[in-house]
């Protein structure tokens, strides 16, 4: 059997971790078996639909590097792939269900349904008042201009149950009596609900496997009933484990970033997100943490999915991001970090482009911070001192442990001599010279570097000092040391 699965989001919000995990698993499953991955836009919720969410979907998956084989933007044999462009199909199939006695028209007003919910509780279902309405009463209501919805007629024979097999959960038996409503299939405005459009599209598009989050499990008995009413074979279902926050509750904004846009703004790399999200509820190969997208596709298997919910660990994602940052060349990392540097005003005014010399310094600084950051967003703050003279820190930050102010001034003066003598040395040669100077002065190298670091970077902690001196240059470095000496002597 040729495998075909789909990601079918509703463009009513930004793409988030849960949705991307579903899309990724569908992509990996299809690619692992040489199948077809489809994107379908389920845009029938017109009240919440917005074109900006469609654009966000395209931007997100383009950034992540996930490409569907069939979809709204690249077409395919089952086009169109946007549900609002398929309304005629849904109406015809809805009429087919009604004609076969598997669905019925309901004329209950929104006011009556609201009163019913208020009287019986929000969890109460529709009371099926119109289920056995005669044709004469229907015609009378239609003559008054009443526009009905179409509801699926759930089989309610005593003991009736819907049984289906889930690849992850096994055999699922759902009592029809527990489906507390005859769900609406076609709304009064002619648009289908999720249930009708989902089933019709999956069948007509030849979807063989439906991988979706377990929160959709209660919908599956309804869908199976519809498949049987149409006389169609249902696809194979696999309800994926939920993605939870560290507190064991469904991942949400209260836990931190959840939309992919937020992670992008925070400086995460797409490779890191793909790698980490692919591991949420799945395993691949023992003893291996880092995977390319192609490697994930080659190793993905439904049989390696976990039934238990996956916990989203922000610290673990940071670890992945830092690993991928370390793997970038200086040029690659500089290009990736440049938008954050411009936004931070690293080269002058906020948003300013770097001059040629500034970009050269920026690129040269990448080896200094590559192993000290976990996101691209952190980079400008780590190297700002290279582009603008930092504020002088408190005098205490200059003083090494167990030293006093007078000794600190002496050490900084020795450090000044070291910078004046350094010449065009490599970082290793500069370090050797500093060790020699420290030995002559009878002090530890760390003590010699402490006041020098504070003078040059404005901080007790900074990227490697010898590389910083090289990028700053002798004249700028000496000027900062002289400023610090005046400060300490004063």
Sheet of strand 209-213, all strands in order from the earlier edge strand to the far edge: 170-175, 161-166, 236-240, 209-213
Distance CA 295, CA 289 (A): 11
Asked whether residue 388 is domain-assigned, the answer is no
Claim to verify: residue 79 and residue 198 sit in the same structural domain? no
Domain coverage including residue 377: 329-383
Claim to verify: residue 252 and residue 199 sit in the same structural domain? no
Asked whether residue 417 is domain-assigned, the answer is yes
pLDDT for residue 143 is more than 80: yes
Across the chain, mean pLDDT equals 95
The DSSP string of 6-68 is: EE---SSS--BHHHHHHHHHHHHHHHHTT-EEEE-B----TTT--HHHHHHHHHHHHHHT---
Among candidates 253, 233, 237, which has minimal Cα distance to 245?
253
**284, 296 in Cβ contact below 8 A?**
yes
Give percent of the chain above pLDDT 90.
90
**281, 243 in Cβ contact below 8 A?**
yes
Beta bridge partners of 166: 170, 237
Cβ contacts of 130 within 8 Å, gap of 6 or more: 104, 105, 106, 107, 108, 148, 151
Give percent of the chain above pLDDT 70.
100
CA triplet 266, 269, 273: central angle to 5 degrees?
95
Claim to verify: residue 420 and residue 467 sit in the same structural domain? yes
Claim to verify: residue 165 and residue 294 sit in the same structural domain? no
User: Mind listing the pLDDT tens digit for each residue in 423-459?
Assistant: 788 899 999 999 999 999 999 999 999 999 999 999 9
Q: Note the Cα 187 to chain centre separation in Å.
A: 33
**Domain boundary, last residue among 338, 362, 383:** 383
CATH number of the domain enclosing 401 = 1.10.10.350
Claim to verify: residue 91 and residue 232 sit in the same structural domain? yes
CATH number of the domain enclosing 105 = 3.40.50.620
What is the band of 193 on the pLDDT scale with cuts at 50, 70, 90? very high
Long-range contacts of 169-174 (CB under 8 A, 24+ apart): 169/217, 169/239, 169/307, 172/217, 172/220, 174/220, 174/221
Asked whether residue 320 is domain-assigned, the answer is no
Among candidates 229, 218, 220, which has minimal Cα distance to 152?
229
CA triplet 208, 213, 219: central angle to 5 degrees?
75
How many structural domains comprise the chain? 4
Claim to verify: residue 376 and residue 482 sit in the same structural domain? no
CA triplet 200, 234, 36: central angle to 5 degrees?
75
**253 given a catalytic annotation:** yes
**245, 310 in Cβ contact below 8 A?**
no
Question: Residue 256: how many CB atoms within 10 A of its CB?
Answer: 15
Claim to verify: residue 91 and residue 63 sit in the same structural domain? no
Question: What Å distances lie between residue 158 and 35, 36, 395, CA to CA?
Answer: 41, 41, 85
The pLDDT score that the predictor gives to residue 180 is 82
Among candidates 409, 411, 396, which has minimal Cα distance to 447?
411
**124, 117 in Cβ contact below 8 A?**
yes
Asked whether residue 258 is domain-assigned, the answer is yes
The pLDDT score that the predictor gives to residue 174 is 97
Asked whether residue 208 is domain-assigned, the answer is yes
**24, 277 in Cβ contact below 8 A?**
yes
Claim to verify: residue 136 and residue 211 sit in the same structural domain? yes
Helix axes 270-278, 51-64, angle to 10 degrees: 90
User: Mind listing the pLDDT tens digit for each residue in 347-360?
Assistant: 999 999 999 999 99
Claim to verify: residue 257 and residue 298 sit in the same structural domain? yes
Claim to verify: residue 231 and residue 152 sit in the same structural domain? yes
Asked whether residue 36 is domain-assigned, the answer is yes
CA triplet 434, 368, 269: central angle to 5 degrees?
170
The pLDDT score that the predictor gives to residue 424 is 80
Claim to verify: residue 140 and residue 113 sit in the same structural domain? yes
Out of 175, 253, 304, 435, the active site residue is 253
**Domain boundary, last residue among 240, 268, 286:** 240
Distance CA 116, CA 84 (A): 31
Is the preceding peptide bond at 103 cis, omega within 30 degrees of 0? no
Eight-state DSSP code of residue 289: -
**21, 276 in Cβ contact below 8 A?**
no
**Domain boundary, last residue among 287, 314, 341:** 314
Backbone angles phi, psi at 354, to 5 degrees: -75, 145
User: Mind listing the pLDDT tens digit for each residue in 311-331?
Assistant: 999 999 999 999 999 999 999
- Quote the strand ranges of 265-384, DSSP E: 310-311
The alpha-helical segments, DSSP class H, found in 144-245 are 194-204, 219-230
Query: Residue range 60-82: average pLDDT?
Result: 97
User: Mind listing the pLDDT tens digit for each residue in 381-431?
Assistant: 999 999 999 999 999 999 999 999 999 999 999 999 999 998 788 899 999
Claim to verify: residue 66 and residue 192 sit in the same structural domain? no
Distance CA 69, CA 57 (A): 16
Q: What is the SS3 assignment for 244?
A: strand
Asked whether residue 40 is domain-assigned, the answer is yes
Taking the model in full, what pTM does it have?
0.92
User: Mind listing the pLDDT tens digit for each residue in 72-124?
Assistant: 999 999 999 999 999 999 999 999 999 999 999 999 999 998 898 888 876 77
Among candidates 237, 107, 120, which has minimal Cα distance to 184?
107
Asked whether residue 292 is domain-assigned, the answer is yes
């Amino acid at each position: 059997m040729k495998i075909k699965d789909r990601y079918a989001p509703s463009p009513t919000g930004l793409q988030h971790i849960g949705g991307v995990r579903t899309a990724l698993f569908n992509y990996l499953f299809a690619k692992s078996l040489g199948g077809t991955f489809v994107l379908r836009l389920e845009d029938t919720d017109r009240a919440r639909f917005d074109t900006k969410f469609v654009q966000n979907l395209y931007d997100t998956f383009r950034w992540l590097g996930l490409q569907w084989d069939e979809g709204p933007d690249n077409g395919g044999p089952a086009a169109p792939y946007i549900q609002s462009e398929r309304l005629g199909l849904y109406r015809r199939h809805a009429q087919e269900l009604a004609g076969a006695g598997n669905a019925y028209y309901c004329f209950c007003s929104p006011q009556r349904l609201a009163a019913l919910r208020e009287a019986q509780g929000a969890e109460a279902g529709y009371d099926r008042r119109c289920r056995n309405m005669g044709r004469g009463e229907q015609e009378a209501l239609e003559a008054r201009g009443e526009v009905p919805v179409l509801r699926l007629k759930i089989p309610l024979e005593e003991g009736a149950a819907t049984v289906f097999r889930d690849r992850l959960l096994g055999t699922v038996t759902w009592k029809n009596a527990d489906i507390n409503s005859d769900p609406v299939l076609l709304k009064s405005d002619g648009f289908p609900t999720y249930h009708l459009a989902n089933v019709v599209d999956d069948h007509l598009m030849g979807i063989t496997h439906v991988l979706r989050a377990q929160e959709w499990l209660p919908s599956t008995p309804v869908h199976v009933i519809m498949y049987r009413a149409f006389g169609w074979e249902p696809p194979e279902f696999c309800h994926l484990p939920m993605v939870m926050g560290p507190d064991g509750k469904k991942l949400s904004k209260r836990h931190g970033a959840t939309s992919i846009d937020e992670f992008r703004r925070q400086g995460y790399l797409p490779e890191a997100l793909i790698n980490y999200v692919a591991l949420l509820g799945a395993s691949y190969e023992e003893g291996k943490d880092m995977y390319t997208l192609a490697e994930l596709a080659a190793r993905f298997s439904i049989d390696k999915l976990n039934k238990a919910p996956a916990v989203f660990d922000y610290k673990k994602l940071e670890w992945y991001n830092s690993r991928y940052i370390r793997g970038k060349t200086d040029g690659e990392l500089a290009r990736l970090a440049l938008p954050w540097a411009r936004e931070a005003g690293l080269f002058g005014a906020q948003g300013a482009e770097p001059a040629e010399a500034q970009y050269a310094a920026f690129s040269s600084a990448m080896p200094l911070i590559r192993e000290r950051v976990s996101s691209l967003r952190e980079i400008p703050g780590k190297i700002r001192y290279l582009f603008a003279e930092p504020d002088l820190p408190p005098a205490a930050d200059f003083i090494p442990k167990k030293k006093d102010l007078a000794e600190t001034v002496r050490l900084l003066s020795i450090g000044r001599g070291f910078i004046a003598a350094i010449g065009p040395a490599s970082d290793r040669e500069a370090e050797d010279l500093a060790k020699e100077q420290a030995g002559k002065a009878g002090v530890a190298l760390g003590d010699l570097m402490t006041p020098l670091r504070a003078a040059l970077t404005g901080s007790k902690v900074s990227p490697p000092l010898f590389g910083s001196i090289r990028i700053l240059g002798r004249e700028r470095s000496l000027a900062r040391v002289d400023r610090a000496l005046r400060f300490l002597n004063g």
